[in-house]
């Protein structure tokens, strides 16, 4: 997962994560990674429209944002 997050940061790509918050609620977020260290991911969250910290241990999964194909 670290490799994917680092690659997304280097490429400045939007990615999707599934995240569990401190209350145990799972949410899906579209983010752009700004910085990573051993415990957290600093990222712009398109849902909250601000830069947020995400605990690395609370990110359940991550992947590419599916792009729709225009007609």
pTM: 0.85
Kind of pairing between the strands at 59-64 and 50-55: unpaired
DSSP string covering 51-64: EEEEEGGGEEEEEE
The tens digit of pLDDT for each residue in 5-61 reads: 999 999 999 999 999 998 999 999 999 999 999 999 999 999 999 999 999 999 999
Please state the domain extents for the chain: 2-64
- State the pLDDT confidence band at 66, using cuts at 50, 70 and 90: confident
Q: How far is CA 36 from CA 10, 25, 47, 54, 71, in A?
A: 11, 23, 20, 10, 37
Residue 71 confidence (pLDDT)? 58
Residue 69 confidence (pLDDT)? 63
Residue 39 confidence (pLDDT)? 95
Q: 2-64: which CATH architecture?
A: Roll (2.30)
């Amino acid at each position: 997962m670290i490799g994917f997050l680092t690659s997304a940061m280097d490429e400045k790509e939007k990615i999707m994560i599934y995240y569990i918050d401190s209350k145990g609620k799972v949410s899906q977020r579209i983010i752009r990674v700004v910085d990573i260290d051993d415990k957290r991911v600093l990222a712009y969250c398109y849902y909250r429209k601000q830069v947020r910290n995400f605990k690395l241990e609370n990110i359940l999964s991550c992947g590419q944002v599916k792009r729709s194909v225009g007609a």
